[in-house]
Amino acid sequence: MEKPHSTKQKSSFSKELTAIKEIIEDLDYEITSGMEQIRSKIGNYFWKFWTISGYPYAWIAIGLICGIAFDLYHVGYVIMFASLSTLAIVVPLKYIVSRRRPYDKHKDLRPLRREREHDWSFPSGHTYYVTVNGVSLALIYGGAISLFLMIGLGILVGCSRLYLGVHYFSDVVVAFFLALLVAYVIYLYFPLIMVLHYLT
């Protein structure tokens, strides 16, 4: 039989989690709403441009070109593993959390894009994808400058998703740091990947 003291502790912990969740949701709403207020014609073009780099097509094309045209198959491996991590981590998380898009939950919020995205919001797939690919490549092939640029690109894409009104701030932040972690794991295990390639 569960002790009353243990039940009270669980109840208190549950209340604290609920309170934290409400604070995050309020902050998310305020940031999303604030981004909507600062939209401008120039800003619209600027942030739409940066969000394009979060689509997988460009990165897959880079991997194919490097592998087929320049025999840099190892670059393709990095992009392949980064892309697979999106399917293995981001997609399941979206369905587990099942968080609605800002404009689906709050009817006063309007996305900038005409074509609304109706998959789940958390975490941001665009932010994750561009960050995990860019940072993985920078860690393996580049130096401090390229790493700085790729981190900056991830931040720009994350900001673009907020500006377009398709994600919350917490969607973007979690996706960004999760991508940094996975990129580092890819960097650590890349030599093993190359060894397996040569053995096969």
Sort residue 111 into left (φ over 0), alpha (ψ -120 to 50) or beta.
beta
Amino acid at 189: Y
Number of domains in the chain: 1
The residue-averaged pLDDT of 187-193 equals 83
Residue 59: which pLDDT band, with cuts at 50, 70 and 90? confident
Instruction: Kindly tell me if the per-residue pLDDT of 190 is higher than 90.
Output: no
The model's pTM: 0.86
Domain carrying residue 155? 4-199
Tokens representing 83 are 């892309």
The two structure tokens encoding residue 142: 């580049």
* 15 φ/ψ angles, rounded to the nearest 5 degrees: -65, -40
pLDDT at residue 10, rounded to an integer: 59
With a pLDDT cut of 90, the percent of the chain lying above it is 44
User: For the domain that residue 126 is a member of, what is the CATH number?
Assistant: 1.20.144
Residue 187 one-letter amino acid: Y
